[in-house]
């Protein structure tokens, strides 16, 4: 990222919300479940699976967690009635992790049971490092209750990730590996791009060797190429791994993977609480300065 882009990334929280909203439209299906279903149907037609995420990570009471849970029930109903190829992703803070850990676990168990009734699957997103241990503990508790249609996310930038993989090995977890997006201090997370890429591939290697199903979630062409080599070296079929990308990012690269016969799943967020997710996406857009400049010109010159 250039100097100007970096400066703009730092200033983004000061950008008016309507502008953030306009700039981030490509990353979000829309405010309603209907919007998400339309996007997923289009992706499915193009040979891509989806994972639907209901936006809503900043909650202040357990009623909001219940409301989010109920929205996910509607998501499963829609996936079933519209015959969509999609599972769901969920953030545990949205289900109450920071308010009442046991209530959060029970909410998640309800969600995973609904998914099981529909032969579907729940992916627990990973949030900032203050939630990592609790998220993994809740995941283990569910697996120990016999719930298997649930998976986790491990972040390659976290120094603890390889240890977490060893600690979870007895569960043979279904894991999405991503680089990690939250701002973390150097003693918690690798800061350099190369160290994160290296740890990403170490994590994928360890998981594949332990027999896990691995979802490689990245738009980094180099990481994708190396991950494909790891799968090929092991003679793994396409039922042992998938690639995952975010809505609105590197569609060309996704199309290429689908053409080559790999499974690809697109992360499709929707909902009215779009702001935090949008900021994170804009902050990692390498062309953010040009993007903002274009938006400004469009507003000045209609």
**Residues 89 and 52: beta-carbon distance below 8 Å:** yes
Give burial (CB, 10 Å; 0-12/13-18/19+) of 137: exposed
Q: Please state, in angstroms and rounded to a whole number, the distance separating the CA atoms of residues 42 and 44.
A: 5
Q: Does 254 bind ligand FDA (CB under 6 A)?
A: no
**Rounded CA separation 207/219 (Å):** 20
Q: Is 79 left (phi over 0), alpha (psi -120 to 50) or beta?
A: alpha
Give the pairing of strands 241-246 and 175-178: unpaired
Determine what percent of the chain falls in helix, strand and coil, rounding each to the nearest 5: 55, 15, 30
Pairwise CA distance, residues 135 & 143, whole Å: 13
178 binds ligand FDA (CB under 6 A): yes
- CB of 217 vs ligand FDA, minimal distance in Å: 4
Would you please indicate which residues are annotated as catalytic (active-site) residues? 125, 176
Q: What is the rounded CA–CA span in Å between residue 155 and residue 128?
A: 10
Given phi > 0 = left and psi -120 to 50 = alpha, else beta, which region is 271? Answer: left
Q: Is 179 in the site for ligand FDA (CB under 6 A)?
A: yes
Contact 151, 124 (CB under 8 A): yes
Residue count at the site for ligand FDA (CB under 6 A)? 23
Binding status of residue 245 toward ligand FDA by CB under 6 A? yes
| x/- track of binding to ligand FDA for residues 76-105 (CB under 6 A) | ------------------------------
Residue 48 in contact with ligand FDA, rule: CB under 6 A: no
In whole angstroms, how close is the CB of 215 to ligand FDA at the nearest point? Answer: 7
87 closest CA partner among 114, 59, 122: 122
Instruction: Give the x/- contact pattern for ligand FDA in 224-243, rule: CB under 6 A.
Output: --------------------
CB of 198 to ligand FDA, least distance (A): 13
Q: Which of residues 117-136 bind ligand FDA (CB under 6 A)?
A: 125-126
218, 224, 227, 273: residue in contact with ligand FDA (rule CB under 6 A):
218
Among 236, 286, 294, 298, binds ligand FDA (CB under 6 A): 286
Task: Please choose, out of 100-108, 137-145, 244-252, 270-278, the segment that lies near ligand FDA by the rule CB under 6 A.
Answer: 244-252
User: Is residue 12 a contact point for ligand FDA (CB under 6 A)?
Assistant: no
Stretch that binds ligand FDA, among 30-38, 93-101, 134-142, 214-222 (CB under 6 A): 214-222
- Measured from the Cβ of residue 194, the count of other Cβ atoms closer than 10 Å reads 8
Dihedral of CA 99/31/267/195: which sign?
negative
| Residue with smaller CB distance to ligand FDA, 143 or 281 | 281
CB of 99 to ligand FDA, least distance (A): 20
Binding span for ligand FDA by CB under 6 A among 28-36, 72-80, 172-180, 254-262: 172-180
Interface contacts to ligand FDA, rule CB under 6 A: 125-126, 153, 155, 178-182, 217-220, 244-246, 249-250, 267, 281, 284-286
């Amino acid at each position: 990222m250039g100097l100007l882009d970096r400066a703009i990334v730092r200033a983004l929280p000061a950008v008016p919300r309507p502008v953030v909203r306009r700039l981030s439209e490509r990353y979000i299906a829309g405010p309603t479940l209907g919007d998400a279903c339309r996007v997923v149907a289009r992706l499915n037609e193009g040979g891509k699976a989806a994972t639907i995420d209901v936006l809503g990570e900043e909650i202040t009471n357990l009623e909001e967690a219940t409301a989010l849970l109920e929205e996910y029930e509607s998501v499963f109903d829609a996936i079933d009635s519209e015959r969509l190829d999609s599972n769901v992703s969920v953030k545990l803070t949205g289900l109450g992790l920071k308010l009442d850990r046991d209530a959060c676990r029970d909410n998640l168990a309800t969600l995973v049971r609904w998914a099981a009734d529909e032969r579907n699957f729940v992916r627990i997103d990973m949030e900032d490092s203050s939630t990592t241990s609790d998220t993994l503990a809740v995941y283990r508790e569910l697996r120990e209750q016999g719930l298997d249609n649930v998976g986790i996310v491990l972040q390659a930038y976290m120094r603890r990730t390889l240890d977490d993989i060893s600690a979870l090995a007895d569960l043979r977890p279904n894991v999405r590996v991503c680089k990690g997006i939250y701002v973390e201090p150097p003693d918690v997370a690798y800061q350099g791009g190369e160290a994160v890429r290296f740890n990403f591939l170490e994590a994928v290697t360890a998981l594949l060797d332990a027999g896990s199903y691995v979802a490689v979630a990245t738009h980094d062409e180099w990481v994708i190429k190396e991950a494909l080599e790891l799968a090929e070296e092991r003679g793994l079929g396409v039922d042992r791994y998938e690639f995952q990308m975010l809505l609105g990012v590197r569609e060309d690269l996704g199309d290429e993977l689908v053409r080559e016969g790999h499974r690809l799943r697109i992360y499709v967020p929707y909902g009215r609480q779009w702001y935090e997710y949008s900021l994170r996406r804009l902050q990692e857009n390498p062309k953010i300065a040009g993007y903002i400049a274009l938006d400004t010109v469009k507003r000045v010159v209609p």
